[in-house]
C-alpha cells in the first residue's frame, strides 16, 4: 500500500542534496547577498562555493564529468540557492539553460568538447535567443548566419543575455535560411567568448538580480566552424523551445526559493517585533497573512516538483506542466515577497532587511524564459487542442 504514495515523498538522496546545498547557501552565499546586490557585482564567492561543492551545473551527465543530477535534484539546488540569493541561483539555472540544447540535440563531438569544462567549473554556459525586437516572438529574430565553405559567418545581436561576459560559451540561435519557412529556418551554434568579432554591450541597469550580469551580445562577422552547430540546420528553434519546456521548471524552483526566503524572514521578524504590548505574530490579521503566504509557497513547490518529475521522464504533457509551474510559482513569488515587505512594515522597505531585495529579485521570474502571459497561452493551447 505504501509504495503507491512514494512519489509524494522526496527520496533520501534528494533530501541529502537539499541539506548540503542549504549549508553552502547559508554559510557561503547568504552573507554576501546584500553586498552583491548593492554593488551589482557578479557573486564570485557564491560561484566558487558552488563549484567546490559541484552545485554550479549539477545537471551535466556523469559521462561528461558532471554530477548527473536529475531534474528534481537540480530544481532543489536552484531553490535552496535562491532562498539565500537569487542572483547566485542563476549560476546553476543558466548553466543548464545554456547547455541543455547540446544535451538534447548536439552531436557527441560537440557534447564531449563543451560539457566537461562546464562540469569542471572552468566555463559558464549562456543561452542567446532573445533580441530587442524578438522577445516573445522568437521566430522574428534578425540574427543571421551565412554558410561560407565549412564555416558559418554570424552577424547581428542578442539582448537580455544572462551571465553575458562571464560565461565562456553561448548557445546562439540565428536564421540560416532567410527564405525558408518561418521557425524552421533557424539553427543553433556554440559561440566561444574568445571568437574574433564577438563582443558585449554595457551591463543593463536592472531592478533586481543585480549580481547576475545581463548584457547584449554583438556579432560582427564571427566565423564559426561548421562542427559547432547544435543539431541539424533548421532545427535550432525546435531545440530552443524544447529546452525552455524543461528549464521553465527551474525558474519555478527559483521563484519558490525566493518566496520561501521571504516567508522565513517575515516569520522571524513578526515573532520579535512588538506593538501594543505583544509580538505582532499574535495578531490574527498577521497570522492569516502568513498562513496564506505559506499555503501559496507550498502549492507552488508541489507544482514545480511534479513538473520536474515530468521533465526527467520527458512526459508528453511537460509543456503544460512546465508553463503552469513557472507561471504559478513566479506569481506566488511576487505576491509573497510583497507581503513579506508589508509584514515588516517600514523596516521591510529598507535595505537593512533582505525582503526588499527579494521583492525586486522576484519580479524577473514573471518575465524571463517566457513572460507569464506566454505561459498562459501555452497552458490554454494544451487545454483547447
Q: Give the residue carrying C-alpha cell 561548421.
A: 226
Q: How many CB atoms lie within 10 A of CB 200?
A: 15
Residues 6+ apart with CB under 8 A from 160: 130, 135, 204, 214, 216, 368
Relative to beta strand 151-162, strand 169-175 is unpaired
Report the alpha-carbon distance of residue 53 to residue 68 in Å, rounded: 14
In the chain, what is the straight-line distance between the N-terminal and C-terminal CA atoms, in Å?
Answer: 36
Q: Report the alpha-carbon angle 115-238-368, nearest 5.
A: 75
Residue 54 backbone zone (phi > 0: left; psi -120 to 50: alpha; other: beta):
left
**Axis crossing angle, helix 236-272 with helix 284-313, rounded to the nearest 10:** 150
Residue 100 backbone zone (phi > 0: left; psi -120 to 50: alpha; other: beta):
alpha
Residue 323 · residue 375 · CB < 8 Å? yes
Residues 6+ apart with CB under 8 A from 8: none
Residues noted as catalytic: 369
Q: Give the residue carrying C-alpha cell 541561483.
A: 89
Q: What is the pLDDT of residue 6?
A: 59
Tell me the domains of the chain and their CATH numbers.
2-120 (1.10.540.10), 125-234 (2.40.110.10), 238-384 (1.20.140.10)
Q: What is the pLDDT of residue 9?
A: 86
Q: What is the pLDDT of residue 2?
A: 46
Q: What is the pLDDT of residue 4?
A: 54
Q: How many CB atoms lie within 10 A of CB 316?
A: 8
**Axis crossing angle, helix 236-272 with helix 71-84, rounded to the nearest 10:** 40
DSSP assignment, residue 378? H
pTM comes to 0.97
Q: Where are the alpha helices (DSSP H) in the chain?
A: 12-24, 30-39, 44-52, 71-84, 86-105, 108-120, 236-272, 284-313, 318-344, 355-363, 372-384
Residue ranges of the chain with pLDDT lower than 50?
A: 1-3
Amino acid at each position: 500500500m505504501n509504495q503507491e504514495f512514494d512519489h509524494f515523498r522526496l527520496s533520501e538522496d534528494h533530501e541529502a542534496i537539499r541539506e548540503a546545498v542549504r549549508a553552502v547557501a547559508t554559510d557561503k552565499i547568504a552573507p554576501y547577498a546584500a553586498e552583491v546586490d548593492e554593488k551589482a557585482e557578479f557573486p564570485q564567492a557564491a560561484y566558487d562555493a558552488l563549484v567546490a561543492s559541484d552545485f554550479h551545473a549539477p545537471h551535466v551527465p556523469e559521462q561528461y564529468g558532471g554530477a548527473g543530477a536529475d531534474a528534481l535534484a537540480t530544481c532543489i539546488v536552484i531553490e535552496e540557492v535562491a532562498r539565500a540569493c537569487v542572483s547566485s541561483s542563476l549560476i546553476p539555472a543558466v548553466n543548464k539553460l545554456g547547455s541543455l540544447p547540446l544535451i538534447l540535440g548536439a552531436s557527441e563531438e560537440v557534447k564531449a568538447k563543451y560539457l566537461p569544462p562546464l562540469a569542471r567549473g572552468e566555463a559558464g554556459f549562456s543561452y542567446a535567443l532573445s533580441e530587442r525586437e524578438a522577445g516573445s516572438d522568437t521566430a522574428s529574430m534578425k540574427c543571421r548566419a551565412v554558410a561560407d565553405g565549412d564555416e558559418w559567418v554570424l552577424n547581428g545581436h542578442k539582448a537580455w543575455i544572462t551571465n553575458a561576459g562571464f560565461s565562456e560559451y553561448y548557445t546562439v540561435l540565428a536564421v540560416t535560411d532567410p527564405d525558408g519557412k518561418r521557425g524552421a529556418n533557424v539553427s543553433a551554434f556554440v559561440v566561444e567568448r574568445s571568437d574574433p568579432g564577438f563582443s558585449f554591450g554595457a551591463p543593463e541597469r536592472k531592478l533586481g538580480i543585480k549580481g547576475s550580469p545581463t548584457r547584449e551580445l554583438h556579432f560582427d562577422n564571427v566565423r564559426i566552424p561548421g562542427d559547432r552547430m547544435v543539431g541539424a540546420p533548421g532545427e535550432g528553434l525546435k531545440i530552443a523551445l524544447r529546452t525552455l519546456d524543461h528549464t521553465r521548471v527551474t525558474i519555478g524552483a527559483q521563484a519558490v526559493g525566493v518566496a520561501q526566503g521571504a516567508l522565513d524572514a517575515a516569520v522571524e521578524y513578526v515573532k520579535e517585533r512588538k506593538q501594543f504590548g505583544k509580538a505582532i505574530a499574535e495578531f490574527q490579521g498577521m497570522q492569516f497573512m502568513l498562513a496564506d503566504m505559506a499555503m501559496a509557497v507550498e502549492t507552488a513547490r508541489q507544482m514545480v516538483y511534479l513538473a520536474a518529475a515530468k521533465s526527467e521522464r520527458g512526459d508528453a504533457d511537460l509543456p503544460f506542466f512546465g508553463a503552469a509551474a513557472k507561471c504559478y510559482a513566479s506569481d506566488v513569488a511576487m505576491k509573497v515577497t510583497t507581503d513579506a515587505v508589508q509584514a515588516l512594515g517600514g523596516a521591510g522597505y529598507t535595505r537593512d532587511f533582505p525582503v526588499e531585495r527579494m521583492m525586486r529579485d522576484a519580479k524577473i521570474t514573471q518575465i524571463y524564459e517566457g513572460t507569464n502571459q506566454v505561459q498562459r497561452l501555452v497552458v490554454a493551447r494544451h487545454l483547447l487542442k
